[in-house]
Amino acid sequence: MNRLLVLVRHGQSDWNLKNLFTGWKDPDLTPQGIEEAKAAGRKLRDLKLGFDVAYTSVLTRAQHTLRLILEEIGQTDLPTVRDQALNERDYGELTGLNKDDARARWGEEQVHVWRRSFDVPPPGGESLKNTAERVLPYFDREILPRVMAGERVLVAAHGNSLRALIMQLEGLTGEEIVARELDTGVPIVYRLNEDGSIASKEVLKG
């Protein structure tokens, strides 16, 4: 039984580069982001990891990352499920704003609360708690059963939708998960025990 689950945050996007709140907006990868995605694929290939199914969001940057990874591992025909349940956190009125401009408008402390608290949403947007309430039922219903059945599953998504999954997988509190940084284009390889607990975890950096 494989019970393999690999999570990858998309490569750097154009709005990441410009320090903008991105959320559900749909910029593509930068040249650096393309290279990050290809490098992620090479790391998985070097470990001889293959997959039975992939999941991603409906946003271009995650789909492009997945496509580049699949090219590197020679699985361009892999069955792929796209669902907005895996979308990035919706930043509401912050979406499209430069983070420095947002601090100038609302104050550094308030913006820090919106970015780094677990359950305080920005105006018109989602907190990480709200994001988890969207992501986790989908994960529990659609993705986890396939992992537990022994399938090898690849998920290419976003910083906050992946934080929600990691919070559940690793049994973290809200305060612990908001402090967890996820690098762009770095695969996290989990193998699960029969009870769904983590047998091993490897972060493929460098």
The amino acid that residue 47 corresponds to is L
H/E/C letters for each residue in 48-79? CCCCCEEEECCCHHHHHHHHHHHHHHCCCCCC
Distances (CA, A) of 189 to 13, 157, 160: 23, 14, 17
Q: What residues contact residue 128 under an 8 Å CB cut-off, 6+ apart? A: 89, 117, 118, 119, 160, 163, 164, 174, 177, 178
The amino acid that residue 98 corresponds to is N
Catalytic, 88? Answer yes
Q: Which residue has the tokens 């997959």?
A: 51
Catalytic, 64? Answer no
Annotated active-site residue in 10, 72, 126, 158 = 10
Contact call for residues 122 and 114 (beta carbons, < 8 A):
yes
Annotated active-site residue in 36, 64, 72, 88 = 88
* Active centre residues (catalytic): 10, 88
